[in-house]
Every structure is written in C-alpha cells, then in structure tokens.
Amino acid sequence: MGLLLQALVDGILIGGIYGLIGIGLTLIFGVMKIINFAQGALMMLGMYVTYYLFTWFGLNPYLSLPFSAIALFLLGALIQRGVLDRVLDAPEHNQLLVTMGLMLIIENAALVLFSPDFRTVKVEQLSGVLTLGNVNFEKTKLIAFLFALLLTVVLYWFLQKTYLGKAIRAVSIDRDGAALSGIQVRRVNMITFGIGAGLAAVARDVGRCVGGARDRFVHRLFVVPLSPQRRLLCLGDAGGGGNFAANRSKLRVLQQDHGHFDSVGAQSVDVSI
Amino acid sequence: MGILIPLAPNPLMFQFESRLPYYYVIFIMTTLVTWLVYHVSKSKLGFNLVAIRENEDAARSLGVDAFKNKMIAIGLSSALTALGGTFYAQYLLLIEPPLAFSSGVSIAILLPAIIGGAGTVLGPVIGSFVITPLGELTNALFSGTPGVQFIVYGAILVLVILFLPEGIVGWVLKRMRLKQIQKGAQAK
C-alpha cells in the first residue's frame, strides 16, 4: 500500500511537469496546426542555457528560469518568422519535415558545440525529502510540480483575459477570420511559437532539477543532446525516488544512452547508481 | 547487441570476398527496381494511384478501387524496401536496432526522396546521387566532429522544402510543362 501511494505521488508530481511540456507543444499545434518535432531540441537548448548560467555565473537553476525562457522565446520567434511562416499553407508532410530538419540542425549543432558529454549541476541546499506518513515528497519534485501548476494557471489566465491571449485563441479558431478582424496574424504566430518554445525551456529547467536528483545529497543535471523521445524517457525515469524499480529503469535509460553514444563513436557514459 | 550473420563467403549465400560484387549486385538491383517502378507508373495501376492521390472521391466515382490500389502500393513499397534491407544485412553482416530503426535511418531514406521529388520515378535516384556524395564529403571534411553531416542534412531539408517543395525532378517537370503551355499559346 505504501509503495503504491508513493508511486502515485511520484507519478502525479512528474505528471505536472509533463503537462507543462505538453502545453507548449499544444499551444503551437493549436495555433499553427504544425506538430513541432523540434520541441525537444528547444527544451535541450533551455537546459544548456541553465547549465552555462550556472557554471559561468553560479546562478541557481530556479533563478535562471527567466533567462532561459527569454532566450528560447527569442529563438522560437526567430524560427517562426524565418522558417515556419513560409510553410503555413504548405502540405502537412512538408510542415512536419521542416520541423524535423530544424530538430536535426539544433540537436547536432548542440552535439558539435557542447560535445556529447553529460553535464551536471550540483545544488546541495535544494535537495531533501519531506515525509508525510509513510510517503516521501522530494522537495525538488514538489517545487517543480507547484511551479508547473502555477505556470499553467498563469497561462490560462493570459489566454482567457488578456488581449493578446484572445488574439491567440482567435487565430487558433480561424486564421483568415482573425486576419479580417484586424489581428496581426503573423505577429500572433511569432509570439505563440515563442511562448511555446519558452515554456519548453522553463518546463525542462524545472523538470531538470527532478531529472537530476540521482541521489539524496547531490543534485545533478544531465544535459545531453539526444532525441526528444529518449530525453522525455530520461526525464520520466531518472526521477525515481530511490526504490529498486526506479533505479533499475534509470540504469536502463543510461544503458540506452550508452548504446547511443557508442554508435555515435563519442565518449562513453559514466554509469554510477 | 544485435544479430551477427554467420560468415560464409559464398555467392550462393549472398556473401562475397570483396566489395566489388556487392557493387554490381546493388547496381543491377537499383536499375531493375527503377525500371519496374517506371513501368508501374505507366501502367493502369500507376494511373489509378495518381488518380487516388489527386482526388480519391473522384477516382472512386469512376470505378477505381481505392482500398485495393492503396494496399498494392504499400505492399510494393514494402517489398522494394525489403530488397534494400536484405542487401544491407548481407553487406554489413550485422543487424542491430540502431542500424535498422533509428531516426537517422528514417532520415537517410526520406531525404533523397524529398530532395529528388516525391511522387516521381527518377526523383529518389537523382536525390540520392545529390545527397549521398554531399554527406560523404562533409563527413570527410569534418571527420573529427560527428554531427556536422546531420546539420547539413537538416539545413538541406529545410531549404528544399522552403524553396523547392516539389523536389528537383518535380521542379524540372513543372518547368517543362510550363514551356509546353507557352509554346502552345504562341502557336495559336
């Protein structure tokens, strides 16, 4: 019973972060009708922003949130203006392929620029566990969950109440109709994609603290240029709270990564559980 | 990881001592498959498929069995892919998941078709003659840094879809058709 409850709590906490990642993706899909394959790659870039802010300036990962969000917002807006704007009316498969091309560019640029090494951020004072009955709440997971919840509420308010939010919803319902009503559709598209990219960065920035909690005392951040599916897998699996099943799945993820790196011909990965 | 194919260098086992026979095998296979696809495109099946692509409802109203034709098309496509897969397995003598299912493989298959022109007979052939040397070249130039090849692939993918969405062959065909129309207009 205790184990079940624990698993449930862990699942709900991590689900909140998945939700935040998903909102960024659906926002873009809802307005642009484009499935953004590069979302995972943008997430990864957000992680690197956090990592470099931490290693260069010693900035706490939670405080670097606005920076990674703004950086990714600008990059997202640039991608929308430069690339996606031109394929909005193209056939769907071409739209998919464009975002796939973007994913290839971003992921491999990261591979070249940042190397395929694991990066870790250690913030000792943020670790710890709250215990309620016989259920453990990891502090980082709890913070991440609450933050995801807060951001979702803020976003909902933004979309429902502000002028820009209403414009975004109008474009999502009918692009031509919105344009005829005087909404600057191109600008709305740009802002939407920017928000979507920024959300990915933020979600990952928060989620990373969870994904990094590999042991009780040290916080670690793993930033690896990987395909988005596998990165999501890492995010989901690496957060296990010290029980056997979670550790085993962690190992499995690392093994998968190991294979991946071997096939790339790059450095092997340090497996330490 | 993966399955090793037992070593038996014997033409009957589709294994050769040197790489040259492999070259001739794949050359003949490519030529035959291109010939086959060309004839399919000129056959009733080919016209049925084009009709379904352009407007499925209209094709069905004229008596084309859309479901049957689509099944034949996907079966044919899978069979041709299997030819390539068998060759690849016998050439590398190793089958492993990243080799067969990774996104890199999907992109390597996709890119020639998109660049050459999807929906044309010669498109994938011309596309792979363009993209493969380019990939090898970037590999040789930046051999120290893995990933550059895929940056180039990604950039080409984006640029082709932005500026040449119907591919090289599709673009040439469109130009030729346009010329013909202009000639017809002048003749009148």
3-state DSSP: chain B helix, strand, coil percent, rounded to 5? 75, 0, 20
CA distances from A85 to A32, A126, B51, B73, B184 (A): 9, 42, 31, 33, 37
State the Cα–Cα distance between residues B37 and B171, nearest whole angstrom: 20
More confident residue, A101 or B107: A101
Q: What is the CA radius of gyration of chain A?
A: 19
Tell me the average pLDDT across A115-143: 73
Question: Which residue from A80, A236, A69, A72 is spatially nearest to A154, judged by alpha carbons?
Answer: A69
Contact A259/B at CB under 8 A = yes
Q: Mark yes or no for CB contact B161/A90 under 8 Å.
A: yes
State the Cα–Cα distance between residues A256 and A73, nearest whole angstrom: 31
Question: Which residue from A236, A241, A240, A242 is spatially nearest to A204, judged by alpha carbons?
Answer: A236
More confident residue, A207 or B169: B169
pLDDT reported for residue B32: 95
pLDDT reported for residue A116: 73
Specify which residues A129 forms β-bridges with.
Answer: A138
Q: What digits encode the pLDDT tens for the residues B115-158?
A: 888 888 899 999 999 888 888 888 888 877 777 888 888 898 89
Do the beta carbons of residue B52 and residue B70 sit within 8 Å? yes
State the Cα–Cα distance between residues A143 and A212, nearest whole angstrom: 14
Q: How many CB atoms lie within 10 A of CB A183?
A: 19
State the Cα–Cα distance between residues A109 and A49, nearest whole angstrom: 14
Ranges of beta strands (E only) in A87-169 are 129-132, 135-138
pLDDT band at A204 (very low <50, low <70, confident <90, very high): low
A108 CB neighbours in chain B (<8 A) are: 147-151, 154
pTM: 0.73
Contact A115/B at CB under 8 A = no
Please list the pLDDT of chain B residue by residue as tens digits (188 residues). 678 888 888 888 888 888 899 999 999 999 999 999 999 999 999 999 999 999 999 999 999 999 999 999 999 999 999 998 889 888 888 888 777 777 677 778 888 888 888 888 899 999 999 888 888 888 888 877 777 888 888 898 899 889 888 889 989 998 999 999 998 888 76
The encoded tokens of residue A53 equal 């802010």
pLDDT band at A270 (very low <50, low <70, confident <90, very high): very low
pLDDT reported for residue A236: 33
Nearest CB neighbour to A97, from listed B98, B114, B149: B114
Q: What digits encode the pLDDT tens for the residues A66-97?
A: 888 899 899 999 999 888 888 888 888 888 88
A87 CB neighbours in chain B (<8 A) are: 161-162
Q: What percent of chain A has pLDDT over 90?
A: 7
The encoded tokens of residue A194 equal 């920017």
A101 CB neighbours in chain B (<8 A) are: 153-158, 161
State the Cα–Cα distance between residues A223 and A159, nearest whole angstrom: 31
Q: What digits encode the pLDDT tens for the residues A26-66?
A: 888 888 888 888 887 888 888 888 888 888 888 877 788 88
Contact B20/A at CB under 8 A = no
Give helix A185-211 / helix A65-82 axis angle, nearest 10°: 140
pLDDT reported for residue A9: 83
- Please give the single-letter amino acid code of residue B165: P
Longest dimension (CA), chain B: 69
- Are β-strands A129-132 and A135-138 bridged in parallel, bridged antiparallel, or unpaired? antiparallel
Mean pLDDT, chain A, integer: 71
Tell me the average pLDDT across A5-20: 80
The ipTM of this complex is: 0.76
Question: Per-residue pLDDT for A124 more than 80?
Answer: no
State the Cα–Cα distance between residues A273 and A253, nearest whole angstrom: 12
pLDDT band at A141 (very low <50, low <70, confident <90, very high): confident
State the Cα–Cα distance between residues A223 and A227, nearest whole angstrom: 12
pLDDT reported for residue A51: 81
Contact B114/A at CB under 8 A = yes
Q: Looking at chain B, which residue has its C-alpha nearest residue A89?
A: B162
Question: Which residue from A37, A14, A43, A46 is spatially nearest to A237, judged by alpha carbons?
Answer: A14
pLDDT reported for residue B74: 95
